[in-house]
Amino acid sequence: MIRIDCRNISGDPAKSEQVRLAHDCLVKNGYAILDHVFPEDQIRALNREFHDQYAKYQQDRELDDTVKVGNRRFLVPIELSGGFGDPSLYANPLVVALVRETLEEDAILEAYGAIVSLSGSAEQHTHRDSPLLFSNDISPLLPAHALTFGIPLLEMNELYGTTALFPRSHRWKGFDDKTSPQAPVVPIGSCIIWDFRLYHRGLPNRSDQPRPLLYATYARRWYQDPHNFSKATQRRLSFDPVFFERLSDDRRRLFSHVDPSPADPSADDES
């Protein structure tokens, strides 16, 4: 698998060789693995914070604001506060540069949360993150409309489980069951990003602890995921209204689809 070492980037990340390589990999293969993006200590601290602050999501039961996405596997909301509100996570300059190069300059942060694979979770079904926009003949020819960005809080490996990817399947008209996936090891501090159309599946968590994969969905300004947020009680983005006051102008662009009015913090675009 192609991996991109993101250490020692100087100057504007958008002009870096790493972004060029990652964009090329995303377009051709449907995914990119970015190594050494975050300090390992930061990710370890996030894992501790997740266990402390989100204990209710570490049970094998779907709640009002979660959705089951496989055996002992759930999509859960994460508040943009504390360690999880660090802009280096949701607005990392390298990642945002890659997102804007792949999607558009006005790309948005459409959702932010975690996929939690509990201890003993089984292999997930093979899937795309959402149905194709158009017919099977047209959709594979189009540029990406949304991307999933994943930051593992525990190493993605054979013990904790990883995400099996089917390279170039974002260009498939349908699933090819004769093709074998690739199962990357993604250490803490590294991350992975894939096209919404890419076929993939989560692998079993054979450890004795939950494995959270922090994720962000980036999308073109007009797109809203119709598949993973079917419940009115789910939240795509969760934050305090004061959060907006602290955003720089450039980061605020990622939230251009959201009404920041404190009079209605639970508006549809924030749910």
- The rounded distance, in Å, linking the Cα atoms of 194 and 170 is 9
Using the predicted structure, report yes or no on whether residue 58 has a pLDDT greater than 80: yes
| Mean pLDDT to the nearest integer, 64-80 | 98
Token pair 């501790």 in the structure block, residue: 48
Looking at residue 1, its pLDDT comes to: 83
* Measured CA angle at 132 (ends 131, 138), to 5 deg: 165
pTM over 0.85: yes
Looking at residue 60, its pLDDT comes to: 98
- For 192-223, the pLDDT digits (tens) are 999 999 999 999 999 999 999 999 999 999 99
The gap from C-alpha 72 to its chain's centroid, in whole angstroms, comes to 19
Cβ neighbours of residue 205 closer than 8 Å, sequence gap 6 or more:
72, 117, 118, 119, 120, 121, 160, 161, 211
Return the CA Rg of the chain. Answer: 17
Cβ neighbours of residue 125 closer than 8 Å, sequence gap 6 or more:
70, 201
Token pair 């980037």 in the structure block, residue: 9
Model confidence at 264, pLDDT cuts 50, 70, 90, reads very low
Higher pLDDT, 223 or 262: 223
- The rounded distance, in Å, linking the Cα atoms of 271 and 266 is 6
β-pair partners for 157: 161
Using the predicted structure, report yes or no on whether residue 67 has a pLDDT greater than 70: yes
**3-class DSSP state of 230:** coil
Looking at residue 259, its pLDDT comes to: 82
Looking at residue 262, its pLDDT comes to: 52
Question: What is the token pair recorded at 172?
Answer: 């498939």
- For 119-170, the pLDDT digits (tens) are 999 999 999 999 999 999 999 999 999 999 999 999 999 999 999 999 999 9
Using the predicted structure, report yes or no on whether residue 187 has a pLDDT greater than 50: yes
